[in-house]
Amino acid sequence: AQSVTQLDSHVSVSEGTPVLLRCNYSSSYSPSLFWYVQHPNKGLQLLLKYTSAATLVKGINGFEAEFKKSETSFHLTKPSAHMSDAAEYFCVVSLFDTGRRALTFGSGTRLQVQP
């Protein structure tokens, strides 16, 4: 079973409308969770992180995510999309119960923002 699932490979929104990128994980304990963004032909940049403090996490560029343990979800949201938000977004989780001391990446969601 996949341990990190990004439910949509592509999401398209209009500029000024809300963004929702969905992520579910499976783990035997409460992991650390992250969202990274990758703009075309660029490296990866940390958007936000959850490390067992507040369940609603605010990140850069107006993004936020809510950790819901009961739903094993960590969805990324933004109230109003901007053209510069067009990029690929990765949900990332620490799954050290796999025996590896490394983070596990979801397969990514490509966000398109239409004018």
Binding interface with other proteins (CB under 8 A): 6, 9, 31-32, 34, 36, 42-46, 49, 51, 90, 92, 94, 96, 100-108
Least distance (Å) between residue 29 CB and other proteins: 12
Which CA distances in Å does 1 have to 20, 35, 42, 91? 24, 21, 30, 16
The residue among 93, 76, 88 whose CA lies nearest residue 113 is 88
The nearer residue to other proteins, 9 or 14, going by C-beta atoms, is 9
Least distance (Å) between residue 104 CB and other proteins: 8
Q: How many other C-beta atoms lie within 10 A of the C-beta of residue 15?
A: 14
